[in-house]
Amino acid sequence: EVQLVESGGDLVQPGGSLRLSCAASGFTFSDYWMSWVRQAPGKGLEWVATINQDESVKSYVDSVKGRFTISRDNAKNSLYLQMSSLRVEDTAKYYCSRGSSWSASDWGQGTLVAVSS
Amino acid sequence: DVVMTQSPLSLSVTLGQPASISCRSSQSLVYSDGNTYLNWFQQRPGQSPRRLIYKVSNRDSGVPDRFSGSGSGTDFTLRISRVEAEDVGVYYCFQGTRWPPTFGQGTKVEIK
């Protein structure tokens, strides 16, 4: 069974940094693209970033480009999202998803990031 | 960016009756490899999104056959043949053909 467990969400001040993690199990992690998707409270879904199997391809939506960095550790079956220069509008639940934008077949339960002074 | 427009945004359905959600994209979703990367997701209250349909009409494992997807180019539809209580939630169409990937606004389905 595919399992994706996000962690690292917290309350942070505007301008601050945070690192999210996603622990994957139930599949061969190194075989898959992986992605982050977010959902602001009471709002719809927004794609954030995608990474390929060997980290040679990383893509970001414009709203996070230059502030967020997606990475992975295949030895640890883990996906990461380093977030810096956080803004109030980054407040959301962040989901880890298996696959690129072509698939997004499985999702974790999400981790909550709140940016507020 | 490709704009995904869903209609209706809210749907109240009697148990056992059919339901249909439309999704239109501002650009063709046919990719250069010939595939159309249009997916449908269900988000039940308090839960994570779950993929129901991928590449327009392919049902995911474990998804009841009362769910079906159809369409082509810029016009797509999700149909529920007979709505059940467990189908309550928000449904999103999603395009992965063009960067950035984009979701529709969501359609809230409730039981009348």
Mean pLDDT for B32-42 is 97
Asked if A31 is an interface residue toward chain B (Cβ–Cβ < 8 A), one would say no
Between chains, do B106 and A103 touch, taking CB under 8 Å as contact? no
Size of interface A-B (CB pairs under 8 A): 53
Per-residue pLDDT of chain A in tens (117 residues, 90 and over written 9) = 999 999 999 999 999 999 999 999 999 999 999 999 999 999 999 999 999 999 999 999 999 999 999 999 999 999 999 999 999 999 999 999 999 888 899 999 999 999 999
Residue of A nearest to B9 (CA): A44
Q: What is the 3-state secondary structure (H, E, C) of chain A?
A: CCEEEEECCCEECCCCCEEEEEEEECCCHHHCCEEEEEECCCCCEEEEEEECCCCCCEEECCCCCCCEEEEEEHHHCEEEEEECCCCHHHCEEEEEEECCCCCCCEECCCEEEEECC
Asked if B5 is an interface residue toward chain A (Cβ–Cβ < 8 A), one would say no
How far CA B66 is from CA of B45, B62, B105, in Å, comes to 20, 11, 23
Mean pLDDT for B91-102 is 97
Radius of gyration in angstroms for the set of CA atoms belonging to chain B, rounded to a whole number: 13
* pLDDT tens, position by position, B66-96: 999 999 999 999 999 999 999 999 999 999 9
Asked if A101 is an interface residue toward chain B (Cβ–Cβ < 8 A), one would say yes
